[in-house]
Structure 1
Amino acid sequence: MTTAKSGYHHGDLRNALIAAAVELAAADGPDAITIRAAARATGVTPPAVYRHFADRDELVSAVREQVVQRLTNATRDARDLWVVAREYVRFAAAEPGLFRTIAEPVNVHDLDDVGAWSSVHGLAVLLAGPLRSWPQAMKDAAVERVLAALKRGLESTVDSTSRRAA
């Protein structure tokens, strides 16, 4: 955890608070992010936090943005949807606290995107939670099966749409 002495540097309190809140979320999930805990971790008083964040929700949003950016950076060069999906599932299993912090509903309107997201997200939740004790080989096999089923489903949707258009 960031210490009060090393975490806060004058002029960089906002980033120090976000870093502390990320560590809190990594350890114990989104409920661990509080104004008081972030202040304590950075060696400031709670009122100092409010100079940078209007409320807890704004601090949690900043944490989400940073964690999503990390995940995005990890998959930036991936040319294959399946690589991205595997990384998402791997992240959920490796960082359950951070995963729970970002696992809020997203604003998705395309039904194919909703289906793909819900399949991958659902598997990630299972592997980060009730199935976390499974051997890695079983987890990998589950990922491959879900992705294969998702691919078949998306391909059949494209095929049926093409036939209707013809």
Structure 2
Amino acid sequence: MPRVLTETDVADFRERLCAAAERLFAEQGPDAVTMRQLAAELGVSPMTPYRYFQDKDDILAAVRTSGFNRFAEALEKAREGAASVRGKGAAVGDAYVDFAFENPHTYKLMFDLNQPLDGNHPELIEAGRRAHDTMSAWVKDLVAAGEMAGDPEEIGTMFWAATHGVIVLEMAGKLPPGAARNLHDRIGTALGKGLRPGA
């Protein structure tokens, strides 16, 4: 008779399984990873993961939800901790680059994967929305303060596209180590100048 699992037991195993899945999904691609393989990574029977998740898509959604929420938390903390309204953009940008290179598997699964979304994973939809909002929140601060002019959503997307681009290029070995951060700073400065009122 299987022992009764406490909430802590469930949370701990889900966390361990998601950590293993995150690495394997990023290295091999979700389609190449099996539930049996995930079970073997943790040294449990092939059916054990099904006690915690419905299927592999459920695990992938949990991994991505956690990633988006941790990403959003990092950017929100950077924005809140900035000493000035002008410093918010730089702080958020630095936090973005830090997160990407400190969590490359997570970052890849967040942004380089098109997972079909449906009503089965509302928490993933909400986490993705939260992460997206963090990319324009600091722009809204600057527009409200008269430091920048334009549509905050569009401007946030411009900065996001530029930052994501240099990060992916460095991760793919197309740029030398450290180049993404340097280019991110220079692109941000150039875009910022062009978006100031009267520029």
Q: Does 1:102 align with 2:110?
A: yes
Residue 94 of structure 2 corresponds to 86
Unaligned 5+ residue runs, structure 1?
1-8, 161-166
Q: Cα RMSD (Å) of the superposition?
A: 3.2
1:109-148, aligned counterparts within 5 Å? 110-132=153-175, 134-136=176-178, 138-148=179-189
Residue 46 of structure 1 corresponds to 46
How far apart, in 1, do the equivalents of 2:107 and 2:182 lie? 21
Query: C-alpha displacement at 1:94, in angstroms?
Result: 4.0
Residues 75 and 92, structure 2, Cα contact 8 Å, conserved in 1:
yes
Residue 57 of structure 2 corresponds to 57
Q: Percent identity?
A: 30
How far apart, in 1, do the equivalents of 2:168 and 2:29 lie? 15
Q: Write out per-residue CA displacement over residues 83-115 of structure 1, whole angstroms, 9 at most, x where no aligned residue.
A: 222222233334432221111476669333322
How far apart, in 2, do the equivalents of 1:67 and 1:18 lie? 11
- Assess, with a 3 A threshold, how the Cα gap between structure 1 residues 85 and 17 changes in structure 2: closer, same or farther: same
How far apart, in 2, do the equivalents of 1:113 and 1:70 lie? 19
Query: C-alpha displacement at 1:10, in angstroms?
Result: 4.6
Q: Write out per-residue CA displacement over residues 7-65 of structure 1, whole angstroms, 9 at most, x where no aligned residue.
A: xx854432331232234356x26547542232112222332222322222221111112
How far apart, in 2, do the equivalents of 1:99 and 1:115 lie? 19
- Assess, with a 3 A threshold, how the Cα gap between structure 1 residues 30 and 98 changes in structure 2: closer, same or farther: farther
Residues 88 and 124, structure 1, Cα contact 8 Å, conserved in 2:
no
Residues 89 and 127, structure 1, Cα contact 8 Å, conserved in 2:
no
- Assess, with a 3 A threshold, how the Cα gap between structure 1 residues 155 and 37 changes in structure 2: closer, same or farther: farther
Q: TM-score with structure 2 length normalisation?
A: 0.58
**Displaced runs of 4 or more, over 4 A:** 104-109
Query: C-alpha displacement at 1:124, in angstroms?
Result: 1.6
1:63-82, aligned counterparts within 5 Å? 63-79=63-79, 80-82=88-90
Unaligned 5+ residue runs, structure 2?
1-7, 80-87, 115-127, 134-152
How far apart, in 2, do the equivalents of 1:94 and 1:15 lie? 18
How far apart, in 2, do the equivalents of 1:118 and 1:139 lie? 13
Q: TM-score with structure 1 length normalisation?
A: 0.67
- Assess, with a 3 A threshold, how the Cα gap between structure 1 residues 30 and 84 changes in structure 2: closer, same or farther: farther
